[in-house]
Amino acid sequence: MSNHIHSGYISPFSTRYASAEMQFVFSEDNKFRTWRKLWIALAKAEQKQGLPITDGQIAEMAAHQESINYEDAQRRERECRHDVMSHVYAYGLQCPKAAGIIHLGATSCYVCDNTDVILMSQGLKIARRKLLNVMALLADFAEGYKDLPALAYTHMQPAQLTTVGKRATLWLNELVMDYEELAHRMNSLALLGSKGTTGTQASFMELLGGDSEKVKLMEQDIAAEMGFSRVVPVSGQTYSRKMDYAVMSSLSGIAQSASKFSYDLRLLQSFKEMEEPFEPSQVGSSAMPYKRNPMRSERVSAIARYVMVDALNAAITAGTQWFERTLDDSANRRIAVSEAFLGVDAILNILMNICDGLVVYPKVIHARVANELPFMATENILMDAVKKGGNRQSLHEKLRMHSQAAARIVKEEGGQNDLIDRIAGDPAFGITRAECLAILKPQMFTGRSSEQVTEFLRDVVKPILEENRTVLGEKQELHV
């Protein structure tokens, strides 16, 4: 067997989709290092409130914070079937002086739940940074194409005109909504703190002589040590699983926006109006050499679907917890939360790549506009003819008949739209072909599209990008 082929299952997020950066956040190594940081924070906070914990014990714990003896922990877990106590034991082997005070007064959720919040916070920071980079690329695209008229659609049928840049603002506005939701979620995250087995802090009251103030101060110190300003006000053994749902709902929002964008781009690519980047050596189809499949956008659609559905895991878990806690959340959350982050990471990586190289074909766009514009211009032609003394009702009926006849030529015979010739040839309108064509300037039918782009970018998007300019400029290459 090749050294590169594995005999066991490996998640495609690890091999194809998610970045090494996001994978590290949800790695075992990051999790267990965070556990040790939390045990050190607990020891420091307990010492500060008068418990007999020495500086030497804390220094010993700090010296082994990063160098985890996994073999000892795994051997112990095979015996006791408890991951937290196995790591307490392994840490104690490295820190013999501190072994007796590691995890003092705490329950497993002290390290597990607080770590989960910390990892989600780290993951949200990465997602936020990448989202901002996608927004910056789309903002540049919208600005560059704000004046290019294009067909707009309702019911997937040609309606009035828009501009290519204006359509891009629809995609961008949804990402702005996601950014605002993400920012709110990050600001709302709170640690579980040190709440004890059923959330009553009874063990810490016992340790600290029944002094409520000391218990509260200890919890605040732990949060500060871990970089948080807040702990949840009340809890059972765990923080409310609605917090997971809120985070995953924010991630689902990004997936929803990305999905809408990817479907639009796939449709535009089928019209040959726009394309995602296509590498010179890229193969579109194993059977059809001429094909240029929108594989990046299709991948976004696929992974977005997964993330949107995955958010239901958190909703169901939050709604099925019993009293102060049950353990049926654990296995589900272990998979669902991390993979929601890995999925959104993959989506944002692809979007950065797509938006950095979007291809526009103005001549195709113009040709498709020109084929539909005569139908859209009938109202203007009608008003012009009425000004010259025509009867609105009879002219409206004539336009209806001419439009249907022209549509038949296009649909049934595959011919060109000849509506303008029909109108110019009908003396009832009193309008020449040249006068008709003068009305058919696409820019006259895009309304405030260009101004809307300018205003939206100036008033909404650019302030956000300016505030976060230090994280912009990221590029993303796709390797598969």
Residue whose C-alpha is closest to residue 308's, from 249, 243, 391: 249
pLDDT reported for residue 391: 85
pLDDT reported for residue 281: 53
Count of residues making up the chain: 480
Instruction: Examine the pLDDT at 286 and tell me if it is beyond 80.
Output: no
How many angstroms separate the CA atoms of 448 and 26, rounded?
46
pLDDT reported for residue 89: 95
Pairing of strands 359-360, 157-163: unpaired
More confident residue, 420 or 269: 269
Low-confidence winner among 154-168, 231-245, 267-281 (lowest mean pLDDT): 267-281
pLDDT reported for residue 5: 65
How many angstroms separate the CA atoms of 411 and 348, rounded?
40
Inter-CA distances, 32 with 66, 115, 369, 411, 456, Å: 9, 9, 59, 65, 45
Token output for 466: 């300016």
Low-confidence winner among 37-46, 115-124, 227-236, 279-288 (lowest mean pLDDT): 279-288
Fold for domain 21-94?
Fumarase C; Chain B, domain 1 (1.10.275)
**pLDDT band, very low/low/confident/very high, at 290 (cuts 50, 70, 90):** very low
Indicate the Cα dihedral angle 148, 151, 153, 156, nearest 10°.
-130
**pLDDT band, very low/low/confident/very high, at 268 (cuts 50, 70, 90):** very high
Instruction: Examine the pLDDT at 230 and tell me if it is beyond 50.
Output: yes
Instruction: Examine the pLDDT at 292 and tell me if it is beyond 90.
Output: no
Instruction: Examine the pLDDT at 1 and tell me if it is beyond 50.
Output: no
Catalytic annotation, pick one of 155, 270, 281, 286: 155
In which residue ranges of the chain is CATH 1.20.200.10 found?
A: 108-145+168-279+291-364
Fold for domain 108-145+168-279+291-364?
Fumarase C; Chain A, domain 2 (1.20.200)
Residue 285 bears catalytic tag: yes
Contact in structure between 165 and 443 (CB atoms under 8 Å): no
Question: For residue range 338-389, what is the model confidence (pLDDT) as tens digits?
Answer: 999 999 999 999 999 999 999 999 999 999 998 888 888 888 888 888 888 8
In which residue ranges of the chain is CATH 1.10.275.10 found?
A: 21-94
pLDDT reported for residue 113: 97
CA geometry: angle 377, 380, 381, nearest 5 deg: 85
Instruction: Examine the pLDDT at 410 and tell me if it is beyond 90.
Output: no
pLDDT reported for residue 479: 61
Question: What does the DSSP 8-state code read for residue 328?
Answer: G
Q: Report the mean per-residue pLDDT for the chain.
A: 92
Low-confidence winner among 210-214, 274-278, 318-322 (lowest mean pLDDT): 274-278
pLDDT reported for residue 361: 96
The mean per-residue pLDDT over the stretch 22-50 comes to 97
Contact in structure between 472 and 132 (CB atoms under 8 Å): yes
Instruction: Examine the pLDDT at 283 and tell me if it is beyond 80.
Output: no
Residue 155 bears catalytic tag: yes
Catalytic annotation, pick one of 14, 188, 285, 330: 285
Question: For residue range 76-130, what is the model confidence (pLDDT) as tens digits?
Answer: 998 988 899 999 999 999 999 999 999 999 999 999 999 999 999 999 999 999 9
The mean per-residue pLDDT over the stretch 259-275 comes to 97
Give me the residue label for tokens 């050294």: 3
Low-confidence winner among 85-99, 179-193, 412-426 (lowest mean pLDDT): 412-426
% of the chain beyond a pLDDT of 90: 74
The mean per-residue pLDDT over the stretch 416-433 comes to 86
Helices (H) and strands (E) in the chain, counts: 20, 4
In which residue ranges of the chain is CATH 1.10.40.30 found?
A: 378-439
pLDDT reported for residue 400: 87
Fold for domain 378-439?
Ribonucleotide Reductase Protein R1; domain 1 (1.10.40)
Instruction: Examine the pLDDT at 289 and tell me if it is beyond 50.
Output: no
